[in-house]
C-alpha cells in the first residue's frame, strides 16, 4: 500500500463508516427490487441523491464537531421537551424494526452459503455482534467497521462478472426516467427513504464527538475539548463526501447487477433475498451468487451496531447517561444495555417469521415517512448560533438542505396516497 493510499485510509473515519452502513440489508433489498423491476431506469436516483446525502450528513457531522454533543443532546439543551421525546420515539422505533429486518436478511444470507436453520443463525449473529461490541475496545471495532466497508466492493466485482450495456447504463444514470404509476413511485420513495436513513444523522454526529475525544484526550483522563480547527473541519467534510460517494457507488453497482441479470431475464418479482441470489446463479454463476450473499452478511455486521448504537446515543443523551463506544461497559452501563435491548427486540422479526424482503422494503418506506421531521431539525440546529457559533450553515448547505427537506416531504405525503 503506497504512502498516499495509507494516508487517505487513515484519514477516513465516521464518514466512510456512515456511508457504508447506509448500504445495509434493507437498502440492498430495495436497490435489488429497483434493478429487478425497472432495470437501469432508476440509476439516476443514485446520482441525484448524492448531493442531498452529502449535505445532511455534513450538517450532522458539523453539529457534533462544533457542539461536542450529538443531535439528541442538542435537542435536549436547546429545544422543547416534546420535540426531543418525539424524535427519540421515532428514531428508536424505526431503528429497532430495521435491526430485525437486517437480522432476517443476514440469516438468509448465511443459509445461502451453508444449510443452517435461519432462526438459530439469527440468534448466533445477535450473540456475535453483541459479544464483539462488549469485548473489544472502540478503536478496534472502528477499524473492523472500516474493513467491513470494503467488503461491499463484492457488488462491484459481481457486477463486472455479467454483461452490461454500458451506453444504456450511463444514459439512465444522467437522464431521469420517471414512470407515474404506483409501483414505480413506491419503489422510488423507498429508494430515497433508505438512502437518506435518519439513523445516519444521529450516528455521524455522535461519532464525530467520539473521534474528537480520541484525538484530544488521553485514555482514562478527563479533558476539556478544544474547538476544532479549520483544517480538522475540512478533513471531516472530505471524509463525509468520500463516504457518501462510496455509498452511492455501491448502490449503482447493486442496481446494474440485478438489472443485467434479473430484469433482463424477466425475473422481476423478488420474494426473498435468497430468491434474488438464486436467480443470479444460473445467469452469472456461483461467483456472483456468493458475492451477493457475502455483501448482505458483511453489510449487516456493519449496520446493526450502527443502528443499535445510534438508538443508544439518542436515549442516553435524552436521559443524560454516560455514553460512547470509547467507554467500557462498567462506565456506560445504560448505553450498552440499550444496545443489547434494541438488538434483542429486533431479533423478534426473524424469530416470529415475518416476511424478510417485505420487512426490509417497508423499513425503507418507514424512513421516508419520518425523515422530513429529522431533516428540518438538523437544518434548524445547523443554523442555530447557540449551537454552531460562527459555523452556522453556508448558503450552499441551506439551499441543498431545504431542497432535501421538500423532496422528502413530498415522498412522505405521497406514501399515504399510494397505500
3-state SS string for the chain:
CCHHHHHHHHHCCHHHHHHHHHCCHHHHHHHHHHHHHHHHHHHHHHHHCHHHHHHHHHHHHHHHHHHCCCHHHHHHHHCCHHHHHHHHHHHHHHHHHHHHHHHHHHHHHHHHHCCCCHHHHHHHHHHHHHHHHHHCCHHHHHHHHHHHHHHHHHHHHHHCCCCCCHHHHHHHHHCCCCCCCHHHHHHHHHHHHHHCCCHHHHHHHHHHHHHHHHHHCCCCCCCCCCCCCHHHHHHHHHHHHHHHHHHHHHHHHHHHHHHHHHHCCCCCCCCCHHHHHHHHHHHHHHHHHHHHHHHHHHHHHHHHHHHHHHHHHHHHHHHCCCCCCCCCCCCCHHHHHHHHHHHHHHCHHHHCCCCHHHHHHHHHHHHHHHHHHHHHHHHHHHCCHHHHHHHCCCHHHHHHHHHHHHHHHHHHHHHHHHC
State pLDDT tens for residues 304-323: 999 999 999 999 988 889 88
State pLDDT tens for residues 246-260: 999 999 999 998 899
Q: So what's the pLDDT on residue 218?
A: 67
> What is the pLDDT averaged over residues 273-296?
68
Q: How confident is the model at residue 191 (pLDDT cuts 50, 70, 90)?
A: very high
Number of folded domains in the chain? 1
Q: So what's the pLDDT on residue 202?
A: 92
Q: How confident is the model at residue 278 (pLDDT cuts 50, 70, 90)?
A: low
The larger pLDDT score, comparing residue 278 to residue 254, is at 254
Does the structure show a pLDDT above 90 at 262? no
State pLDDT tens for residues 326-357: 888 888 899 999 999 999 998 888 888 776 66
Q: How confident is the model at residue 269 (pLDDT cuts 50, 70, 90)?
A: confident
Q: So what's the pLDDT on residue 12?
A: 76
> What is the pLDDT averaged over residues 94-120?
86
> What is the pLDDT averaged over residues 8-16?
77
**Domain limits for position 298:** 3-418
State pLDDT tens for residues 351-402: 887 766 677 778 888 889 899 999 999 999 999 999 998 899 999 999 999 9
The larger pLDDT score, comparing residue 146 to residue 263, is at 263
State pLDDT tens for residues 30-49: 898 999 999 999 999 999 99
Q: So what's the pLDDT on residue 13?
A: 77
The larger pLDDT score, comparing residue 119 to residue 284, is at 119
The larger pLDDT score, comparing residue 187 to residue 83, is at 187
Q: How confident is the model at residue 279 (pLDDT cuts 50, 70, 90)?
A: low
CATH number at residue 382: 1.20.1740.10
**What percent of the chain clears pLDDT 90, i.e. is strictly above it?**
40
Amino acid at each position: 500500500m503506497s504512502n498516499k493510499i495509507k494516508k487517505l485510509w487513515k484519514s477516513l473515519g465516521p464518514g466512510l463508516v456512515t456511508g457504508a452502513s447506509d448500504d445495509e440489508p434493507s437498502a440492498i433489498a430495495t436497490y435489488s427490487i429497483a434493478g429487478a423491476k425497472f432495470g437501469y431506469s432508476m440509476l439516476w436516483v443514485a446520482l441525484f441523491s448524492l448531493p442531498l446525502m452529502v449535505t445532511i450528513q455534513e450538517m450532522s457531522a458539523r453539529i457534533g464537531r462544533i457542539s461536542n454533543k450529538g443531535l439528541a443532546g442538542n435537542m435536549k439543551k436547546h429545544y422543547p421537551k416534546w420535540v426531543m421525546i418525539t424524535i427519540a420515539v421515532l428514531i428508536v422505533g424505526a431503528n429497532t424494526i430495521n435491526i430485525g429486518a437486517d437480522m432476517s436478511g443476514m440469516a438468509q444470507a448465511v443459509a445461502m452459503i451453508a444449510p443452517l436453520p435461519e432462526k438459530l443463525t439469527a440468534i448466533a449473529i445477535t450473540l456475535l455482534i453483541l459479544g464483539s461490541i462488549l469485548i473489544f475496545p472502540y478503536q478496534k471495532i472502528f477499524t473492523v467497521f472500516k474493513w467491513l466497508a470494503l467488503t461491499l466492493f463484492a457488488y462491484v466485482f459481481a457486477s463486472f462478472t455479467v454483461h452490461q450495456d454500458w451506453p444504456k447504463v450511463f444514459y439512465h444514470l444522467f437522464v431521469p426516467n420517471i414512470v407515474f404509476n404506483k409501483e414505480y413511485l413506491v419503489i422510488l420513495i423507498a429508494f430515497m427513504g433508505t438512502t437518506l436513513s435518519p439513523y445516519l444523522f444521529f450516528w455521524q454526529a455522535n461519532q464525530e464527538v467520539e473521534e474528537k475525544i480520541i484525538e484530544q484526550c488521553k485514555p482514562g483522563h478527563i479533558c476539556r475539548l478544544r474547538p476544532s480547527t479549520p483544517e480538522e473541519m475540512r478533513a471531516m467534510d472530505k471524509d463525509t463526501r468520500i463516504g457518501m460517494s462510496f455509498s452511492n457507488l455501491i448502490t449503482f453497482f447493486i442496481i446494474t447487477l440485478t438489472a443485467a441479470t434479473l430484469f433482463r431475464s424477466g425475473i422481476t418479482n423478488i420474494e426473498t433475498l435468497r430468491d434474488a441470489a438464486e436467480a443470479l446463479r444460473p445467469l452469472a454463476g456461483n461467483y456472483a451468487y456468493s458475492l451477493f450473499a457475502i455483501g448482505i452478511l458483511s453489510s449487516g455486521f456493519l449496520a446493526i451496531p450502527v443502528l443499535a448504537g445510534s438508538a443508544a446515543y439518542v436515549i442516553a443523551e435524552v436521559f443524560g447517561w454516560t455514553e460512547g463506544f470509547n467507554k467500557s461497559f462498567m462506565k456506560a452501563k445504560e448505553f450498552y444495555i440499550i444496545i443489547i435491548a434494541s438488538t434483542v427486540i429486533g431479533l423478534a422479526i426473524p424469530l416470529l417469521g415475518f416476511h424478510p424482503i417485505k420487512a426490509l422494503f417497508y423499513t425503507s418506506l418507514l424512513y421516508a415517512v419520518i425523515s422530513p421531521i429529522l431533516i428540518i431539525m438538523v437544518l434548524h440546529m445547523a443554523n442555530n448560533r447557540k449551537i454552531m457559533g460562527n459555523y452556522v450553515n453556508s448558503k450552499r448547505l441551506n439551499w441543498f438542505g431545504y431542497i432535501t427537506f421538500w423532496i422528502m416531504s413530498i415522498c412522505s405525503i405521497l406514501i399515504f396516497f399510494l397505500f
